[in-house]
Homo-oligomer: A and B are copies of this chain.
Amino acid sequence: MKAEIIAVGSEMLTPFRQDTNSLYLTEKLNEIGVSVHFKTIVGDRQRDLVAAIRIALGRVDILVLMGGLGPTEDDLTREAVAEALSLTLRRDAQQVGALAARAAQWRIPMPSNNLKQADVIEGATILPNVNGSAPGQWLDTTVGKHRKLILLVPGPPNECRPLFDAECIPRLRALLPVRHIAKRTLRAAMIPESQADKLLAPIYTTYKDVETTILAHAGDIQLTLLCAKSNAEAAQARVDELAVRMEEALEDWLYSSGGASSESLEQIVLYYLGLRQSTLAVAESCTGGMIAQRITGVPGSSRSFLGGAVVYSDALKHAFAGVPPELIAQYGAVSAEVAQALAKGIRIRTGATLGLGVTGIAGPGGGSEAKPVGLVYIALSDAQKTEVAERKFRGDRARVREWTAQQALDLIRRRLR
């Protein structure tokens, strides 16, 4: 079955706002075997919207309209669907009551405009919206000789997504042939994108029945394998077979090959820290807190992560990580020696099992011929040894910092594995 998603709202035609609901809806539709063939964004103009609806009904079986269900003059989706299909709108008495009750509950007067939200397209079913006042609508109709399903869902993500899950997916599933979806997500760190492609393309392209998606960002590669079959075990077997072959190809770049959901690199680092009953502390210069921030973004991270220091000034490198000023004077703040001293110093100061030290030149200023922008040193220290890695990352300040944080977390993972 083919679907189109129409996002309604002039704000999504500005440089400032983007439709993001459609990614969520696409995922849910894909999982029940519906593929999205078109996405359209239309402003709050009824004529444009009517035309877009007619075009969509000419090319897909399922049309999801998102937004334009509120109480304002600009909310025109109900009116446009009715016009496009020459259907009437009737004001639903029960919905009027629900709107009045809602207004009373919030102790706000109900503007007459609000009643628009009780207008229901001829033949449509009302879909309750537990998080907002505008209900969704489900219209199962025919255009020419073709059956068409038209779904109206509210625009705000906290209304759209729960309503879609609770009201739309079960109704669609009941109408569609039973398909079982198997899914696996693999993740790898710091493998060059071109190398990943070279290693993996010859493998996954031979699995025509498994849809493989590769996403890459700042040293992180995420592979999603999706297979839909009428038989659940057969789908799972295909996905697992492909996953095993990819895992082998990715060797130790692979850091997560969990189930359907994906684990982040910081989650894996925390997992290994827990497993080894180890603790971590960090001394960050050029990443300025980014590594600590990623780790502490994971709930429960306090069990293994003690904290650390953002040692932006040379004085703090000394005060918090005990780096001797002479060492900085001799080798410079961005040097293998200082990174090692940071890692060792923060480990000893905090009593952590493992200390991480990071120093580098994030740019745009501060670079020289000998030490260009993008040069970083990342050191890792435990009771046995202190090791340091030198890297040169390209790109702007944000990019150098992101790659450095990713590389640092990956070095910790490799040490703990």
- Measured CB to CB, the residues of A under 8 A from B are 11-18, 20, 23-24, 26-27, 30, 35-43, 45, 48, 51-52, 55, 59, 213, 215, 224, 281-282, 284, 286-293, 295-297, 299-302, 305-313, 315-316, 319-320, 349-351, 363-365, 397-398, 401
Contacts and interface: CB of A to CB of B under 8 A. Distances in A.
Contact of A310 (B42, B213, B307, B363): B307
15 contacts: A13-B35, A14-B213, A15-B23, A39-B40, A287-B293, A288-B297, A289-B291, A289-B293, A289-B308, A297-B398, A307-B312, A309-B309, A309-B310, A315-B350, A319-B350
Given A288-B289, A290-B293, A306-B312, 13 more contacts: A13-B37, A18-B18, A37-B45, A38-B41, A39-B40, A51-B59, A287-B293, A288-B295, A289-B308, A297-B397, A305-B312, A307-B311, A315-B350
Given A16-B215, A23-B18, A26-B14, A315 B306 contact: yes
A309 B320 contact: yes
A286 to B, nearest CB: 8
A334 to B, nearest CB: 12
Most central of A35, A40, A363 by chain B CB within 10 Å: A40
A35 B281 CA distance: 52
Contacts of A52: 38
Q: Count this chain's copies in the assembly.
A: 2
Contact of A299 (B48, B308, B363): B363
Contact of A308 (B14, B296, B310): B310
Most central of A30, A286, A302 by chain B CB within 10 Å: A302
A15 B292 CA distance: 29
A8 to B, nearest CB: 11
A397 to B, nearest CB: 6
Contacts of A351: 315
A380 to B, nearest CB: 18
Contacts of A398: 297
A364 B316 CA distance: 33
Contacts of A16: 23, 213, 215, 224
